[in-house]
């Protein structure tokens, strides 16, 4: 953690997640067993996706927070959510490691502040998909094409490099000004997405 503020935000986010899950499950926050599912890439539970570890199972979930805004996604299918605050980002430096050639052309050709917005759109889409897969940002980001110039939902495909070959619907979420957020769910299934501000 980069300091006291980051640590406090992390603890606050996790406490809020436990409270919201308790409301959803009809239990007390202290009775919500949070842990991790096995990583689909290596099988380790040390860094797999977050999970409710109740004997009967619980909803699949994804958690994200950035600069005071937290998000929790619950589903009966794999799901990933990511939120990022708008801030100074060294887009030109990060583009080679994080963007596909098509994304780089779109993002780097845009004037600021649109350039940063497009970069963060790509980033949140990629991270949401990789969270839905269950591996997080451990695989090549340049292998995920997120169609930066299109408003969501868009289809994003993962391959063997991401542990799961699948197609995902990635939706841009409505969040307060100053943040951007994306949610990924399996393309097969036609699920309805509901966003609630709490």
Indicate whether 95 pLDDT > 90: yes
Q: Which is higher by pLDDT, 94 or 10?
A: 94
Give tens-digit pLDDT for 136-161: 776 678 989 999 999 879 999 887 66
Taking the complete model, does pTM exceed 0.85, yes or no?
yes
Residues 103, 145 contacting (CB under 8 angstroms): yes
Give tens-digit pLDDT for 115-127: 999 999 999 999 9
How many Å apart are CA 88 and CA 70, to the nearest integer? 20
Q: Which is higher by pLDDT, 33 or 109?
A: 109
Residues 89, 118 contacting (CB under 8 angstroms): no
% pLDDT > 90, the chain: 45
Output the average pLDDT for the chain. 87
Neighbours of 72 (CB within 10 A): 19
Q: Which has the minimum average pLDDT: 48-52, 68-72, 100-104?
A: 48-52
How many Å apart are CA 196 and CA 89, to the nearest integer? 28
Indicate whether 57 pLDDT > 60: yes
Residues 193, 183 contacting (CB under 8 angstroms): yes
55 falls in which pLDDT band (50, 70, 90)?
low
Q: Give the 3-state DSSP-derived string for the chain, with helices as H, strands as E and coil as C.
A: CCCHHHHHHHHHHHHHHHHHHHHHHCCCHHHCCEEECCCCCCCCCCCCCEEECCCCCCCEEEEEEECCEEEEEEECCCCEEEEEECCCCCHHHHHHHHCCHHHHHHHHHCCCCHHHHHHHHHHHHHHHHHHHHCCCCCCCHHHCCCCCCCCCCEEEEECHHHCCCEEEEEEEECCCCCEEEEEEEECCCCCCCCCCCC
Residues 103, 63 contacting (CB under 8 angstroms): no
Q: Which is higher by pLDDT, 60 or 180?
A: 180
What is the predicted pLDDT for the residue at 83?
Answer: 96
Neighbours of 88 (CB within 10 A): 7
Indicate whether 173 pLDDT > 90: yes
198 falls in which pLDDT band (50, 70, 90)?
low
């Amino acid at each position: 953690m980069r300091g006291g503020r980051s640590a406090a935000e992390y603890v606050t986010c996790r406490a809020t997640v436990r409270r919201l899950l308790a409301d959803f499950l009809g239990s007390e926050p202290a009775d919500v067993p949070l842990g991790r599912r096995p990583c689909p890439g290596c099988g380790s539970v040390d860094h797999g996706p977050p999970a409710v570890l109740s004997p009967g199972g619980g909803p699949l979930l994804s958690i994200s927070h950035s600069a005071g805004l937290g998000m929790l996604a619950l589903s009966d299918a794999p799901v990933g959510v990511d939120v990022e605050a708008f801030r100074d980002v060294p887009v030109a430096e990060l583009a080679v490691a994080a963007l596909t050639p098509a994304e780089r052309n779109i993002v780097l050709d845009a004037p600021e502040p649109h350039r940063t917005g497009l970069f963060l759109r790509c980033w949140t889409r990629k991270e949401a998909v990789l969270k839905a897969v269950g591996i997080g940002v451990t695989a090549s980001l340049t292998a995920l094409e997120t169609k930066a110039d299109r408003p969501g939902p868009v289809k994003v495909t993962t391959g063997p490099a991401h542990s799961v070959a699948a197609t995902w619907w990635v939706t841009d979420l409505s969040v307060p000004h100053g943040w951007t957020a994306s949610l990924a769910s399996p393309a097969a299934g036609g699920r309805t997405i509901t966003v609630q501000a709490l």
